[in-house]
Amino acid sequence: MEQLLNQIKKGKVWPFPGGIHPPGQKTLSSTQPITRLPLPDKLVVPLKQHIGANGQLIVEKGQRVLKGQALTQPIANWSVPVHAPTSGVIEDICHAPSAHPSALPELSVIIIPDGEDTWCELHVASDPSKLSHEQLIDIIHQSGIAGMGGAGFPTYIKADSRKAIEYLVVNAVECEPYITADDLLMQEHAQGIINGIEVMQQLLTPTLTIVGIEDNKPDAIAAMKKAAQHADNIIVQTVPTIYPSGGEKQLIKLLTNKEVPSGGIPADIGVLVQNVGTLFAINQAVYEGKPLIERVITVTGNTIHKPGNVWALLGTEIKHLLDCQGFSPVPQQRVVMGGPMMGFTLPTVRIGVVKTTNCILAPDHNELAEPGPEKACIRCSACADACPASLLPQQLQWFAKSQEYDKLKEHNLFDCIECGACAYVCPSEIPLVQYYRVAKAEIKEKQEEQIKAERAKVRFELRNARLEREQEARKNRHKRKPATEKSADEKQKIADALARVSNKPAKDDEKSAVAAAIARAKAKKQGDQLEPDNSEVAKERAARKEQARLYKEQKAADTNEATHSDAPVDDKKSAVAAAIARAKAKKAAQADASTTTGDAPVDDKKAAVAAAIARAKAKKAAQADASTTTEDAPVDDKKAAVAAAIARAKAKKAAQAEQLAASKNNNTEETTVENTPADDKKAAVAAAIAHAKAKKAAQAEQLAASEKVNTEEATIENTPVDDKKAAIAAAIARAKAKKAAQAEQLAASEKVNTEEETVENTPVDDKKAAIAAAIARAKAKKAAKEQADEANPQTETSETSATFEQNIEAQAPVKEKPELTAQEKKKAAVAAAIARAKAKKLLKEGSDKS
């Protein structure tokens, strides 16, 4: 630190990379002193003349203003006011072309001077050294001072730096050709500049203040050294003439050997830079109370007859400056605001002077030739060698043309100071700086849009959150609010209320009293004594009635069979008689089994033998009946139908008996046992067992599988049979015969013994008998349907069979259908005969196996 400070005090400078040496052309304007222009006819004062936000307008159209009166007031950060350059009347407040290459219109105040040039009241500090830091900052702020070296950065922001400043650098280099405004200002107002430096030293307290001046300004160097000889910590340093040594970062490198990091500011390394014009404006604001309303401007060029430097009021039109200095335009005349390197051509001379305007250049065609057409880059690297920021101008130009903004940022586009050195040395005459300016503007615009989008997103999210809160509040509006802490008085009131409630009769007691009253009323209505509950007796009585009804139905069926046996014998009745004979044979076998069971104790082996004998007798009788019916009787339609129906009935009856015996819930057996006296219970049980075995044997012999036989037999015997029904019955009979043959082979004597013991030892229960009967009927219906489907899969036949079986089960007479033709009757008779022959054959095979 001390070594660097000693080197600086000894006058050592450090070079920066790049740089060029264009012709200075400064002698055109530096030989004459600064002059003051007459008041213009009109002043166009833009509201924005600096980096930052506009101030708020505090005047209106038609209002008279005084010289130095504020036209705006700052309302945001980086906002400084503008003041009236002279006294006069505000003619208009409108948009006017701005001092920018695009000349975009900006809000401006149009003032018509009154010629009196009357000042407003000024506040002058008697001793600035006694003012506080805040007071000095406020004076600089309200005076509207901004950087006058070209950037227009608000000075009060720099003066109020929160970072420690080690070196205060005064930029008096003025390296760009033609411009001599700072040179003449230092020559004529060196003491005022030193006073401004002292004010900044009071604010920043730097270790050292360095005034850098190019060695091509000897008069300015001498004047500044003379003014600073009695000042503390101020040294005037001479630097070599090279462009752009006046750049902020380049000057810091020259004077302090420090480099500002990419994307950083000088304050980051403890350095602050101020222009000499800005320091003189601070001097006027603090010591004289004058705001920034005028500045020194160089008006030069071969088309100007009196080139030199002038004091120009802010807002003065460029045309007025040119006319006052003797402007003689040439065809296709160019007027440049700024120097030939960093300036820009004005689209019109009706633009007002602003705080950053330091030069108006009006060259002829020989002095500043028009650039030629852009050619292809030859990759000579001259632009990279001349760049003072160590950038790659050629690469940046490619990225700018292709609008690759991310890559431009990666290659540090914003470190470019737009000095124009790259374009100056380019042999292909590529306007590199123009590409960079456009790219910077587009990137900034994109960033602003992104910031706006983010702000809009935040507003949208906040709005959604607010709407959700409002919706939740509406939902909870009618809900009970959470209980809050109650005061002592409220707690006491609640306790008293609870005590009163506890003294009242209990609610349960009231309910019990009401119930007792209702009970007493009911008792009074029904009488003194209630009737006894006879529900159980009524159930037993109903059961006995049901048993008696079943017994009567069985007896009526037996009587009906006997009646049919005594009827005259004809074609139809002969088949009925055969059926009755088979039934009597079954009863005989049942009687034999009953006698055997009643006289001797029930033995498993004897019972099995008796059952086998009964089955044999039943088979023989059935075979004889079937043979007689088939062989002796002539085959006609009605007889064939009756015979087939009787065969089906017997098979179904046998299957029903087998199913009921196997499930221990045979309806017929239980009815018989229930109606048997208690003394003969064992005999009745034995008879029922024998009867079940006989039925099982008959089922195997007749090859039947349906379980709804009793009803079908009764219905067929009492109902005329037509040919179509006979054909259907024959098909069903064939299926049942096939299934019965399989059942015969699977029968076992051990199962029969078990069934005998179960029936004998199981008490008879009315409810169980009824349930068992229902189960048996359901199983019989399902088996009959399956057998019918197997025998004849046609839809019409299956539906007719199902309907026919339902009619049999319901004990309802079947309505006669229209008689068939002779050919159809003949076909039905043949089918029935074939069915009977097959049944006979199967019965014989079953008998041989037994």
175 appears as a binding residue in the annotation = no
Sign of CA dihedral 578, 579, 585, 588: negative
Token digits of residue 320: 């007025």
Half-sphere exposure of 393 (CA within 13 A, CB side): 31
pTM above 0.75, yes or no: no
> Which residue ranges make up each domain of the chain?
2-361, 382-449, 575-849
CA-angle at 252, arms to 246 and 253, nearest 5°? 100
Q: Where are the alpha helices (DSSP H) in 719-818?
A: 723-745, 749-761, 766-791, 795-809
* Domain at 2-361, CATH class: alpha beta
- C-alpha–C-alpha distance, residues 627 and 633, integer Å: 10
Can you spell out the DSSP letters for 538-578? HHHHHHHHHHHHHHHHHHHHHHHHHHHHHSPP-HHHHHHHH
Half-sphere exposure of 191 (CA within 13 A, CB side): 2
- C-alpha–C-alpha distance, residues 471 and 466, integer Å: 9
- C-alpha–C-alpha distance, residues 172 and 249, integer Å: 14
Token digits of residue 229: 């000889």
Cα dist from 692 to 32, 530, 593, 611, whole Å: 151, 50, 11, 9
324 appears as a binding residue in the annotation = no
b/e code 477-488 from CB counts within 10 Å (16+ = b)? eeeeeeeeeeee
pLDDT digits 0-9 by tens, 594-629: 444 444 333 445 555 555 565 666 566 555 554 444
Residue among 339, 316, 161, 130 nearest 243 (CA): 339
359 appears as a binding residue in the annotation = no
Instruction: Pick out the chain residues at pLDDT < 70.
Output: 1, 478-486, 504-514, 523-535, 558-579, 581, 583, 585-645, 647-649, 651-652, 654-833, 835, 838-839, 842-850
Distance between start and end Cα atoms, the chain: 133
Helix (H, G, I), strand (E, B) or coil at 531: coil
387 appears as a binding residue in the annotation = yes
The answer to whether the beta carbons of residues 206 and 166 sit under 8 Å apart is yes
Helices 723-745 + 681-702 axis angle, to 10: 110
* Residues in Cβ contact with 91 at an 8 Å cutoff, skipping those fewer than 6 apart: 42, 61, 110, 111, 112
A 10 A CB-CB count for 658 gives: 26
| pLDDT at position 603 | 46
| pLDDT at position 514 | 67
- C-alpha–C-alpha distance, residues 775 and 664, integer Å: 11
* Residues in Cβ contact with 825 at an 8 Å cutoff, skipping those fewer than 6 apart: 637, 723, 819
The answer to whether the beta carbons of residues 427 and 453 sit under 8 Å apart is no
416 appears as a binding residue in the annotation = yes
Token digits of residue 572: 């139809």
Helix (H, G, I), strand (E, B) or coil at 254: helix
Half-sphere exposure of 59 (CA within 13 A, CB side): 27
pLDDT digits 0-9 by tens, 29-83: 999 999 999 999 999 999 988 888 888 999 999 999 999 999 999 987 889 999 9
Three-class DSSP labels, 589-611: HHHHHHHHHHHCCCCHHHHHHHH
The answer to whether the beta carbons of residues 780 and 659 sit under 8 Å apart is yes
Question: Tokens 């920034």 map to which residue?
Answer: 292
CA 272 distance to own-chain centroid: 53
Helix (H, G, I), strand (E, B) or coil at 63: coil
A 10 A CB-CB count for 418 gives: 18
Sign of CA dihedral 639, 645, 651, 653: negative
